[in-house]
Amino acid sequence: MTLSSSVTRRHPLLAALSLALVAALSACGGSNSGPVASPEPSEQYVPPEPPSGYTPKAITYAQKDMVSAANPLAVQAGVDILAKGGSALDAAIAVQMVLNLVEPQSSGIGGGAFLLHFDKGANSLLAYDGRETAPAAATPNLFIGANGSPLGFLAAVDGGLSVGTPGLLRMLEAAHKAHGKLPWKDLFEPAIKLSEDGFAISPRMSVSIAGSAARIKAQGEPAASYFLNADGTAKAAGTLLKNPELAATFRAIAAGGADAFYKGDIARDIVAKVTKHPTNPGRLSEADLANYTHKVREPVCGTYRVQYRVCGMPAPSSGGIAVLQTLGLLQNFDVAALKPNTLDSVHLVSEAYRLAYADRALYVADPDFVSVPQAGLVNADYLKERAKLIRMDQTIGTPTAGTPPGVSAARGQDNSLNLPSTSHLSIVDRNGNVVSMTTTIENGFGSLQMVRGFLLNNQLTDFSFTATDAAGKPIANSVQPGKRPRSSMAPTVVFNASTGDVEAVIGSPGGSAIIQYTAKSLIGMIDWGLNVQQAINLPNFGAQTNATTSLEKGSLIDTAAIRDGLRARGHTVAQTDTFTSGLHGVVYNGLRANGQAGLLSRNPGAGTYAGGADPRREGIAKGND
């Protein structure tokens, strides 16, 4: 792999469906000398939101454009904006505002996002960083309790202490000025109308509320009465829910721009909610909001299997780096020959994940505060050397971080949990412009603090709770004033390496497992020749910084043969029904200028674009013909 820095709870399927899918899938530099001490074994991955079922979905085609996102109402808002001549960026804003209303547990204006934008006319890919920042008054011991020990996760989350300065709106406004076509105010109209008229609570939203009902009730108003019945139970799916306060907030932002959020009455209310929390006050100030700035960064990109240039989000996200590391490690193996859903493919890909996560835990943080050896981490020679640690007959077990080119100082082992409650949207417009955006408020329902109709993030708990590790070494992802916490979000755009044409747009929510979900889909499309929906459907599995390999419970790989085979190679095997990815992807499905078919679509359907949506969540893909 040639790389550069520039760059469910799943309900078991019917036997017939499983057999059909099996049949379909069967058809279809520097050395690692001086390794760094391995991270402490982490707990088994636990997602920020509960699973809500598995609904098989068919691949979708459209001629002019395509939106794939987490809720049909949000997708329709984006499709309508595109039909009016809006750009991909315009559609993304409309989709996000509706998601804030209909999927409030996952993302919204009280949080942040990472966005990749490809401008077809300028042939330019930019990475927009709208990640939250730590308040100016934050200190490295922000999450150290009175007894001198780190707080428990939920003790840190619930309340004002965990709230970082939201970045989403400031980032979207800047991107709109550069890439928007329709007026800013018009992009809020779908969300305003739905907020005022009401919408039916979706099954997933109701399940999410139920999973957090006790915590929501404990935090009180206004969230309690908005999400819960009088008896403290979750409002049921199908309940008509209106949010006039959010409509008023959207109207103010539509008329006054992002300044209406970052300055004035809304900002004062946000700060009051955070700092006046009765038991867990935070340190956010009006100055933090007024001074927030987004960043425009250079994407991290690499070439995989010669034909494809894969681009992702750079630090402070670990997502793009770790996805490229995974592919770079697998570049040294014939993954296509192993076939999907086999013991060998699960073993090999999990081993690549282990090595990528070991480096992620040690080196990746906000590059404005620490030196991140990003180019070294994705260096082809470094990854080729690291790949020699992978054996097909035995697991690595608990992985050891390598020493990539560019390492300048000893690093401590990070102990952050990184459980972002998140959503992803992929959009291509009729002019070939692209948005891949992953957006988050961190844990399910964020900090549970509701202001003017929207929830505030708990993003600061993505930092390490301690500034040094057990050996006294400084942790890269520790809390500092103005710093952005490390993320796993991995919005991705794939190009034809020869022509420069966009081949695929994809990404997922899912906390630290986002890296695995995104990489899985790319491997499915590139190595195994699957279309975008088939690749998204692939069973989820993976490993991080320990010897445990997790398998999606009830899936095609959750078999005695694979479990026993992994154990024979030294894996600790965990079956989990909580691998609730939310992959949303779009691929090019037509003929290129050179007469070549879009290489990733691999399907006979009619349409310029093909879209896929994760059956583990309730999103769809849709476009205009």
Q: Using one digit for the tens of pLDDT, what is the confidence trace for 461-485? A: 999 999 998 889 999 999 999 999 9
Q: Which of 422, 438, 439, 492 is catalytic?
A: 422
Q: Among 35-44, 106-115, 284-293, 529-538, whose mean pLDDT is lowest?
A: 35-44
pLDDT of amino acid 49: 59
More confident: 218 or 2: 218
For 51-208, list the strands marked E by DSSP: 60-62, 66-69, 112-119, 124-130, 199-200
pLDDT of amino acid 417: 56
pLDDT average, residue stretch 77-106: 98
Q: Which strands sit side by side in the sheet containing 548-552, from one edge to the other?
A: 541-542, 548-552, 572-576
Does the pLDDT at position 43 exceed 60?
no
pTM here is 0.91
Distances (CA, A) of 356 to 89, 387, 569: 31, 10, 20
**Is 499 known to be catalytic?**
no
Dihedral angle computed from the Cα positions of residues 77, 83, 86 and 92, in that order, rounded to the nearest 10 degrees: 30
**Distance, CA of 500 to CA of 298 (rounded, Å):** 17
Taking each helix axis from N to C end, the angle separating 514-526 and 319-330, rounded to the nearest 10 degrees, works out to: 40
Condensed to tens digits (0 to 9), the pLDDT of residues 597-622 reads: 676 766 667 789 999 999 999 999 99
User: Domains (ranges, CATH) in the chain?
Assistant: 60-294+419-521+570-622 (3.60.20.40)
SS (H, E, C) 162-216: CCCECCHHHHHHHHHHHHCCCCHHHHHHHHHHHHHHCEECCHHHHHHHHHCHHHH
pLDDT of amino acid 18: 32
Instruction: Give backbone dihedrals phi and psi of 93, rounded to 5 degrees, phi first.
Output: -65, -45
Taking Cα atoms as reference points, which of 547, 495, 548, 551 lies closest to residue 520?
Answer: 551
- How confident is residue 537, by pLDDT bands cut at 50, 70 and 90? very high
pLDDT of amino acid 411: 79
